[in-house]
Amino acid sequence: MRIDIVTLFPAMFEGFVNSSIIKRAIENNYVEVNIVDLREYTTNKHKKVDDTPYGGGAGMVLTCQPVFDCVKALRKEDTKVLMMTPQGKTYKQQTAYEFAKMTHIIILCGHYEGFDERIRTLVDYEVSLGDYVLTGGETASMVIADSIIRLIDGVIEKESHENDSFSNGLLEYPQYTKPRVYEGLEVPEVLCNGNHKEIAIWKHKESLRKTYFKRPDLLENYSLSEQEAKWIEEFKNKE
Ligand X SMILES: C[S@@+](CC[C@H](N)C(=O)[O-])C[C@H]1O[C@@H](n2cnc3c(N)ncnc32)[C@H](O)[C@@H]1O
User: What does the binding site for ligand X look like in residue numbers (CB under 6 A)?
Assistant: 84-87, 109-111, 113-115, 128-130, 132-137, 140
CB of 87 to ligand X, least distance (A): 5
CB 148 within 8 A of CB 99: yes
CB-nearer residue toward ligand X: 7 or 211: 7
Rounded Cα distance, 231 and 213, in Å: 12
CB-nearer residue toward ligand X: 107 or 208: 107
CB 84 within 8 A of CB 107: yes
CB-nearer residue toward ligand X: 134 or 152: 134
**Nearest CA-CA partner of 168 in 210, 213, 198:** 210
Q: 150, 206, 209, 228: which is the annotated catalytic residue?
A: 150
Would you list the DSSP string of 106-126?
A: EEEPPBTT-B-GGGGGG-SEE
Helices and strands: H and E segment counts in the chain: 8, 9
**Nearest CA-CA partner of 76 in 13, 6, 4:** 4
CB 99 within 8 A of CB 144: yes
187 Rama sector, left if φ>0, alpha if ψ -120 to 50, beta otherwise: beta
Q: Is 113 an active-site residue?
A: yes
The secondary element (H helix, E strand) that includes residue 196 is: helix 196-214
CB-nearer residue toward ligand X: 90 or 225: 90
CB of 93 to ligand X, least distance (A): 16
Rounded Cα distance, 3 and 151, in Å: 14
CB of 167 to ligand X, least distance (A): 22
Q: Is 164 an active-site residue?
A: yes
- Residue showing the smallest CB distance to ligand X in the complex: 110
Q: 2, 164, 172, 174: which is the annotated catalytic residue?
A: 164
CB of 126 to ligand X, least distance (A): 9
Q: For residue 208, what is the DSSP state?
A: H
Q: 37, 98, 113, 126: which is the annotated catalytic residue?
A: 113
How many other CB atoms are there within 10 angstroms of residue 206's CB atom? 19
Q: 4, 50, 66, 86: which is the annotated catalytic residue?
A: 86
CB of 73 to ligand X, least distance (A): 20
CB-nearer residue toward ligand X: 129 or 170: 129
How many other CB atoms are there within 10 angstroms of residue 27's CB atom? 8
Give catalytic residues, as residue numbers: 86, 113, 150, 164
